[in-house]
Amino acid sequence: MKKDTVVGDVLQIKQRGKVVSDNGDAFICENLDTGEQFYITKEMAVGCDNAETCFSEEEVSQTKAIEKLIGAGSNLVTVWFEKKDGSGRKLRGFVVNETDIRGYSDVVDLDIASDGNMANGRDNRQRKVDHRTINRIIVDGVDYKAKGRWQ
């Protein structure tokens, strides 16, 4: 179920970058921490982690979905959850801090531009994910859908 890399996909190489254009033989990417552009051949892109590429799907308990987020570390994830106002949210990023299974994880949202300032040791892109509201997570090529929470 591997999808082709397209403009807008988030990739992880040695640096995290967002594909901003396709020039035929290569992708032009923007480093998500520095804003600098770099090129990557399409052959190289095949071996990159991609926040939304999945090779399999599993229906799991919500506890298992939470464990997958907590265990993701610096790997790219895409997580669907509900915000405090009840609206749905999709976040592509990586976990920087997690609490116990009943708490929250701090996730850097790679779809938000970095201001390069780590005020108080906190990235401006950092967002809280309430574990109790996780519906779905893609990590390490597997799409985990929480039973009874994903339509």
Please indicate, yes or no, if residue 151 is contained in any of the structural domains: no
Domain identity same for 84 and 130: yes
Domain identity same for 90 and 28: no
Domain identity same for 45 and 78: no
pTM here is 0.82
- At residue 144, the 3 state secondary structure works out as strand
Domains held by the chain: number: 2
Based on the number of CB atoms within 10 Å of its own CB, is 104 exposed (0-12), middle (13-18) or buried (19 or more)? Answer: middle
Domain identity same for 60 and 131: yes
Domain identity same for 75 and 44: no
**What range does the domain containing 15 cover?**
10-49
Averaged confidence pLDDT in the chain? 89
Please indicate, yes or no, if residue 1 is contained in any of the structural domains: no
Please indicate, yes or no, if residue 3 is contained in any of the structural domains: no
Burial of 51-87, coded b for 16+ CB within 10 Å and e otherwise, reads bbbbeeeeebebeebbbbbbebeeebbbbbbbeeeee
pLDDT digits (tens, 9 = 90+) for 22-58: 999 999 999 998 899 999 999 988 888 888 888 899 9
Region 67-91: what's the mean pLDDT?
93
Give me the pLDDT at residue 36, please. 93
CA distance 18 to 76: 12
Whichever domain contains 39, its CATH number is 2.30.30
Q: Provide the pLDDT confidence category of residue 98 given band limits of 50, 70 and 90.
A: confident
Q: Provide the pLDDT confidence category of residue 107 given band limits of 50, 70 and 90.
A: very high
Domain identity same for 30 and 64: no
Higher pLDDT, 11 or 151: 11
